[in-house]
């Protein structure tokens, strides 16, 4: 049974509980923070079935000095995830850990009006060869700071304090969304499954990134 909720104000939990665990609480389900339309098994669905899904065109870039196509587990995972969700793969590429090669590839995609979203994997650590954020953040018109913050909160559940080594980030450039993810396939899965997938679904409530796309280039 579908469970559909609309939030009436931001829900903040100081213990950083996930929405899933929070919404299973009977106290939460009857609180002023949420207005339940349907309560099935107690698990909330944030999908508005009255809206139609909008497929996006997504480019994927793997950043690695050592991986070829056969070894590119993280890039392939992202491609599989986005296609399973109903989106279209625009192009997939692999670049070395070179700031200017990365920036050139991403800039080309940003300038192409056919590309809605860019996902990169790799190069977000703190070693000398990790330069994806340095390559891409200068291209941002706006940084989506909440993405990196939320990713590290979720990652903490899996890898504890090691998550502080991740410089995962996201932003908007020329009306295109960019997400810079770690090279780990597990981290890519977490980022897509727990954050990106929902925000790239036009049906997701109470809001999503897709419905903002017509306004991204407003002056």
State both tokens at 44. 């909330």
Task: Give me the percent of the chain exceeding a pLDDT of 70.
Answer: 79
Residue 155 belongs to a domain with what CATH number? 3.40.980.10
Residue 48 lies in a domain: no
Range of the domain at 189: 57-215
User: pLDDT at residue 210 above 90?
Assistant: yes
Asked whether residue 66 falls in the same domain as residue 136, the answer is yes
Tally of domains in the chain: 2
In a shared domain, residues 18 and 84 = no
Same domain, 175 and 104: yes
Whether residues 105 and 200 fall in one domain: yes
- 69 shares a domain with 9: no
Cα distance between residue 12 and residue 16, in whole Å: 8
135 with 109: CB under 8 angstroms?
Answer: no
Q: Report H helices in the chain.
A: 19-23, 26-29, 73-85, 99-111, 132-136, 145-159, 185-191, 197-199
Predicted confidence band at 124 (pLDDT cuts at 50, 70, 90)?
A: confident
Query: How high is the pLDDT of residue 44?
Result: 54
Instruction: Provide the whole-model pTM.
Output: 0.79
**3-state secondary structure at position 163:** helix
């Amino acid at each position: 049974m579908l469970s559909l909720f609309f939030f009436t104000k931001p829900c903040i939990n100081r213990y950083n509980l996930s929405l899933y665990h929070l919404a299973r609480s009977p106290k939460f389900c009857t609180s002023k923070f949420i207005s339940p339309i349907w309560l099935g098994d107690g698990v909330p669905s944030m999908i508005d079935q009255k809206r139609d899904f909008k497929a996006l065109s997504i480019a994927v870039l793997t950043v690695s000095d050592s991986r070829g196509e056969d070894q590119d587990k993280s890039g392939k995972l992202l491609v599989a995830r986005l296609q399973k969700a109903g989106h279209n793969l625009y192009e997939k590429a692999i670049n070395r850990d070179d700031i200017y090669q990365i920036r050139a590839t991403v800039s080309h995609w940003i300038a192409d009006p056919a590309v809605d979203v860019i996902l990169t994997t790799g190069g977000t650590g703190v070693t000398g060869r990790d330069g994806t954020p340095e390559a891409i953040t200068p291209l941002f018109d706006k940084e989506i700071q909440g993405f990196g913050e939320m990713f590290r909160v979720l990652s903490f559940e899996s890898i504890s304090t090691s998550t502080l080594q991740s410089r995962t980030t996201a932003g908007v450039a020329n009306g295109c969304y960019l997400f810079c993810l770690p090279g780990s396939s597990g981290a890519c899965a977490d980022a897509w499954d727990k954050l990106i997938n929902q925000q790239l679904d036009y049906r997701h409530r109470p809001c999503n990134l897709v419905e903002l796309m017509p306004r991204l280039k407003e002056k």
